[in-house]
Amino acid sequence: MKNDLERLSKLNFLLVDDHSLFREGLRRILEDYNITNIMEASSGEEVLSKPLSHKPDVVLMDFYMKELNGIETTRRLLEMYPGLTIVLLTVSDDDNTIAEALRAGAQGFLNKNMHSKEIIQSLIQLLAGKIPLSKPISRALLSNLTAPAKNKESYKEEENKSISIKLSPREEEILFLLGLGRSNREIGQQLFISESTVKNHVRNIFKKLDVTNRTQAITTAVKLGLIHITNERK
């Protein structure tokens, strides 16, 4: 835990929220854990209007903002800064647009009602390569992703796409474990392979699914029926 907190303290954070009181409260939570490299923005427009002088390691951004919401801001930010880690903050546990936001590139979702320790623990999970999702949000997300296709055409399109993707048995194993939130190290330990071998498999999975991060890989795989994850998350 101590080492994890030390790693967090060295990261640059960007807080994006149109409520100054919430930004102030979140900043205090981070500072209580010696996280001091913190930048702020009051809207998506502000973030996108000028180059980031110091590229943040983690962006904590409000899901709902006036004019430019968290989904669109996430999409545009990632076009400008590929690989940026973005976590959206929301008060809604059953919003059916969560899946869309994850496909836009968000790395996870945190509920604004979480306690400070839960927020920090979620950020530590992020460092370990896991996807921070509150339990209610993850249930809503999986329900959204596994819902039947709206029409025959869309179903056929997804079916054809899933058939065209050829994953090896090892890649299927690793993809499933990614869906359970396992880190590369944990996957390697469970499958008795090196962490570097896991990373190579993950890169191949990303390439085959045409995605750039774990969250997109999992949501795409669930949508295409390549993996099935239960609603029970620990």
CB 63 within 8 A of CB 86: no
pLDDT of residue 134: 62
pLDDT of residue 211: 87
Which CATH architecture group holds 2-144? 3-Layer(aba) Sandwich (3.40)
Mean residue pLDDT across the chain: 80
Mean pLDDT, residues 41-52: 90
Calculate Rg over the CA atoms of the chain.
18
**Tens of pLDDT along 146-162?**
555 444 444 444 444 44
Tell me, yes or no, if the pTM score tops 0.85: no
pLDDT of residue 151: 47
Task: Give start-end residues of each CATH 1.10.10.10 domain in the chain.
Answer: 151-223
CB 195 within 8 A of CB 188: yes
Residue 28 pLDDT more than 50?
Answer: yes
Q: If you write DSSP's letter for every residue of 3-59 in order, what string do you get?
A: HHHHHHHTS-EEEE-S-HHHHHHHHHHHHHTT---EEEESSHHHHHHS--SS--SEE
CATH number for the domain whose boundaries are 151-223: 1.10.10.10
Who has greater pLDDT, 214 or 142? 214
4: region left, alpha or beta (phi > 0 left; psi from -120 to 50 alpha): alpha
**Tens of pLDDT along 162-181?**
456 888 889 988 988 887 77
Task: Give start-end residues of each CATH 3.40.50.2300 domain in the chain.
Answer: 2-144
Residue 122 pLDDT more than 80?
Answer: yes
CB 196 within 8 A of CB 119: no
Mean pLDDT, residues 20-39: 93
Who has greater pLDDT, 198 or 64? 198
